[in-house]
Amino acid sequence: MSYWRFMNDMGDVAYNLAVSEVLLRSVGNERASNTLRIAYCNPSSVILGIQHIPQKVINIQEIRTLKFNIGRRPTSGPILFFTDKQMAVQFFLKDNRPTSDSMKRKVIDIMINALKELNINASYEEPYSLYVNKRMLAYVDVFRINHALGLTFYFNVDNDEEYRKRILTINSLPYATPSYFTSLKYELGQEYSPSTFVETIKSVMKRELGVSFTNQRLTDYEAMLLKSHIEKHTMSEWIYEYRNKNINASSDVKAVTIDTKTGFITVLASTDRGLIMNIHISGDFYIYPPEALEALEAGLKFAPADESYIEEYVKRYIKVGKVELYGIDEEEIVEAIRRATIP
């Protein structure tokens, strides 16, 4: 019988997103056992997890005026919406076949079977929804790092129509329509109990996976990682938050995304006759001062698309300009630019 760690906690935007990433990395590095975590949103917080999507402009400042917390989202898909009217059921586990969805499907089936035992007939629809009678009960977020798999089910516990109306006034999001949703309290009525819901999930896991649970907090290794991840998630100037533009294409346009130690970097570039005509750098990292990235792009415009020149220019710019990087290093910036500009 294998052992899973069980955790139950509450936090704000930085804590919830940071813990999720730390637990996934810990499982992937084999520093901790598989984990089932039940997470709640601090009642004073409303979390929006936003990923950089070049094709879609998100008005960050307007959302902030409505007192929403903005957090970095490590996966693709629509805006992640997490309020105190919801419960997050998270699975972090080792997946030795990351190119297959078999483990993901197994976890989803476990959740569906647990709901059946509570007399809720739910179905999963790609890419991210648990439905009951054509209404969304939970949003499913899938996050992978190498051989680690993370699934989060954001269950609607209660009606959060007011929050959704506030979001709907900013973004025309069909999944924000109140009638599109249902909740655990609506489906179960007076029978709803948070503890019963969680224990049912654990019971199905014990039966179908042959696992046992042990209550355990973060390991020393995870606690060490958590501090820097919280700092990262609370930074107000993550690149994806405020940089969204299209480059003017010339004769050759290329988009390159590479993984970094903590996220990713994307470079869109156009070249013509061996010169960099346009370049746009974005991704999941922090740079200070914020205007340094635009200045770097301006300096590379009309520069030779030459590996040695790019490396020398970027490293000199960072050193002379005393540019601070977080979540990325200069070699990763150079590599991404090189791949996007050199055939």
Higher pLDDT, 175 or 48: 48
SS3 content of the chain, % helix, strand, coil (to 5): 40, 30, 30
Question: 132: which residues sit within 8 A by CB, 6+ positions away?
Answer: 120, 121, 122, 123, 182, 187
Give per-residue pLDDT as tens, 130-150. 999 989 899 898 888 888 999
Q: What is the pLDDT, as a whole number, of residue 47?
A: 57
Over 60: is that where the pLDDT of 158 sits?
A: yes
Higher pLDDT, 51 or 102: 102
Over 50: is that where the pLDDT of 288 sits?
A: yes
Q: What would the two tokens of residue 52 be?
A: 């950089």
81, β-bridge pairs: 48
218, HSE (Cβ side, Cα atoms, 13 Å): 19
Give per-residue pLDDT as tens, 231-257. 666 655 544 433 444 444 444 578 888
Q: What would the two tokens of residue 54 be?
A: 């070049």
138, β-bridge pairs: 130, 155
Tell me the average pLDDT of the chain: 80
Note whether 71 and 49 are within 8 A (CB).
Answer: yes
> Of all residues in the chain, what percent carry a pLDDT higher than 70?
74
Q: Do β-strands 324-326 and 286-288 pair in parallel, antiparallel, or remain unpaired?
A: antiparallel
Note whether 74 and 52 are within 8 A (CB).
Answer: no
Q: What is the pLDDT, as a whole number, of residue 311?
A: 95
* Domains along the sequence of the chain with CATH: 2-233 (3.30.930.10), 239-341 (3.30.390.50)
Q: What would the two tokens of residue 50 be?
A: 């936003």
CA dist., res. 70 & res. 265, Å (int): 20
Strand order from edge to edge, sheet including 264-272: 252-259, 264-272, 275-283
96, HSE (Cβ side, Cα atoms, 13 Å): 0
CA dist., res. 181 & res. 134, Å (int): 9
Q: What would the two tokens of residue 194 be?
A: 């948070």
- Count of C-beta atoms within a 10 Å radius of residue 14: 21
Q: What is the pLDDT, as a whole number, of residue 51?
A: 46
Over 50: is that where the pLDDT of 202 sits?
A: yes
Q: What is the Rg, in whole angstroms, of the alpha carbon atoms belonging to the chain? A: 22
* Phi, psi (deg, nearest 5) at residue 159: -80, 120
Higher pLDDT, 98 or 214: 214
Give the Cα-Cα-Cα angle 21, 105, 96 (nearest 5 degrees). 60
Over 50: is that where the pLDDT of 24 sits?
A: yes
CA dist., res. 236 & res. 11, Å (int): 18
Q: What is the pLDDT, as a whole number, of residue 69?
A: 56
